[in-house]
Amino acid sequence: MERQKRAAAIHDISGLGRCSLTVILPILSAAGIETGVLPTAFLSTHTGGLPGYTCRDLTSELLPAARHWKSLGLHFDALYSGFLGSFEQISIVSEIFRMLKSDDTLVLVDPVFADHGKLYATCTPQMADGMRDLCQNADIIVPNLTEASYLLGREYREGQYNRREVEEMLRSLTRLGPKSAVITGVSFEPGRLGAAGYDSASGEFCCSLFPRVDGSYPGTGDIFASVLLAARLNGDPLPKAVDAAVQFTGDAIQRTWLAKTDPRFGVNFEYGLASLPSLLKSGENGSY
């Protein structure tokens, strides 16, 4: 049997609302990946639309916990960061990457700080700029269109894009440092929405689209990035990984839309977990 992969996930835990660690952990586990967690903050819910949420910053815990992990001499196949609780966490996460990374570790940075043209409630412009520095240390970054525009100093525009424009954005994102970039929430034609990726080593672009559903759900970026990471660790090339992530996320959104549940509580990804392994390539040792 192939050696089991191990990842470390550095994200907040939002108690309700199906985002960050409450979706990342089940997805990576369902994909067969052993996942350690370094929670950046504990919130009662996510920050998008459930007023009165509580938030406990966990900055002071991160380095001591990572140092403990380092002392255990473990190997990590992936280091995966997302929503951060404070500006100081940006340099701390960079330090944790340096501490826990081996030559063959895949570092995925999801620069979670904005959506729909606006910064998240807890995110300052200083944090958003710091995310650009964190992206430099990544092998792969997964911004949405708002975050990609901000990282590139471009004005955010809603609606459809042409392929050339998104390809230029992807190329520019990899010039910030990461080898690959994937932008989520892109649309090139009415009624279809998905993600586009670029691998600077091969020079190849890829894109995958899904029927668009009206409305917006929290946590879909985290679901997308987790499936993408799982697919890469399972040996899928970037285009296949983007396809699997669009398919899994799109199915969850569609299922939720049909059920007409309160969108603030995220999407029903749980019903898709059992079939996740069949979406991912199996039997090959992951190389990226």
> Strand 13-16 relative to strand 41-45: parallel, antiparallel, unpaired?
parallel
Smallest distance, ligand PXL to C-beta of residue 138, A: 17
Which one of 22, 35, 47, 208 is in contact with ligand PXL (CB under 6 A)? Answer: 47
- Which residues neighbour 278 within 8 Å (Cβ) at sequence distance 6 or greater? none
CA angle 97, 102, 106 (to 5 degrees): 70
Given the complex with ligand PXL, which of 12 and 139 has the nearer CB atom? 12
Smallest distance, ligand PXL to C-beta of residue 34, A: 22
Smallest distance, ligand PXL to C-beta of residue 14, A: 5
Given the complex with ligand PXL, which of 50 and 176 has the nearer CB atom? 50
Contact 96, 137 (CB under 8 A): no
Smallest distance, ligand PXL to C-beta of residue 162, A: 28
Contact 20, 269 (CB under 8 A): no
Given the complex with ligand PXL, which of 32 and 49 has the nearer CB atom? 49
From 150, 127, 143, 106, select the one nearest 6 (Cα to Cα): 106
Contact 6, 89 (CB under 8 A): no
Query: Residue 205 interacts with ligand PXL (CB under 6 A)?
Result: no
- DSSP assignments along 33-44, one per residue: -EEEE--SEEEE
Given the complex with ligand PXL, which of 14 and 35 has the nearer CB atom? 14
Report CA-CA distances (Å) from 18 to 55, 159, 198, 251: 16, 26, 28, 15
Q: At what angle do helices 125-136 and 88-100 cross, to 10 degrees?
A: 20
Query: Residue 19 interacts with ligand PXL (CB under 6 A)?
Result: yes
Query: Residue 221 interacts with ligand PXL (CB under 6 A)?
Result: yes
Per-residue binding string, ligand PXL, 76-95, x by CB under 6 A, is: -------x------------
Helices and strands counted in the chain (H then E)? 9, 13
Distance CA 195, CA 229 (A): 14
Q: Which stretch binds ligand PXL (CB under 6 A): 39-47, 56-64, 148-156, 256-264?
A: 39-47
10 forms beta bridges with: 81
Given the complex with ligand PXL, which of 43 and 280 has the nearer CB atom? 43
| Binding residue count for ligand PXL, defined by CB under 6 A | 15
Query: Residue 199 interacts with ligand PXL (CB under 6 A)?
Result: no
Distance CA 243, CA 253 (A): 15
Given the complex with ligand PXL, which of 15 and 211 has the nearer CB atom? 15
Which one of 7, 24, 46, 144 is in contact with ligand PXL (CB under 6 A)? Answer: 46
Per-residue binding string, ligand PXL, 101-140, x by CB under 6 A, is: -----------x-------x--------------------
Which one of 5, 12, 131, 132 is in contact with ligand PXL (CB under 6 A)? Answer: 12
Q: Which residues bind ligand PXL (CB under 6 A)?
A: 12, 14, 19-20, 43, 46-48, 83, 112, 120, 218-219, 221-222
